[in-house]
Every structure is written in C-alpha cells, then in structure tokens.
Amino acid sequence: MDDESRIVELELRYMQQQELLQELSEVLYAQGRELEGLRVELALMKKKLEGEPGLVDAQRQEKPPHY
C-alpha cells in the first residue's frame, strides 16, 4: 500500500468516525430532552399524589365524617 492510498484510507475512516460521532451526539441530545420531559412529568405526578394521598394508599384515605 503506497502512502497516498494509506492517507485516503485514513481520511475515509476519519469521515466515518465524524459521521458516527454526529449521529451519537444527536441521539444523546434527543435522550436528554426526553429525560428532562420525563423528570417534569414525574414532578407533576408527585405533586398530584401529594395532594390526593388516597389515590395510592387507601389506608391513608380519611373516612367521611358520618362514620
């Protein structure tokens, strides 16, 4: 293999690595956005459950005053 073909091979590998890094970066960014959305949704669910404890634990639900 001569020097020029080695350089071309290295350039091709470099370009493939750059494309792969870009693709991985995009996937990571999308996952980060999804994770942040899930965190927000989880926080909202926690708030809702704190406001209505009987939804999760029936024992914590207070009995009506007529009992």
pLDDT tens digit sequence for 34-56:
999 999 999 999 999 888 866 66
CB 55 within 8 Å of CB 49? yes
Sign of CA dihedral 50, 55, 57, 59: positive
Query: Which DSSP letter does residue 65 get?
Result: T
pLDDT of 51 reads 86
The residue-averaged pLDDT of 1-24 equals 96
Given this model, what pLDDT does residue 20 score? 98
Query: In terms of residues, how long is the chain?
Result: 67
Q: pTM here?
A: 0.62
Task: Tokens for 43, please give them.
Answer: 């926080």
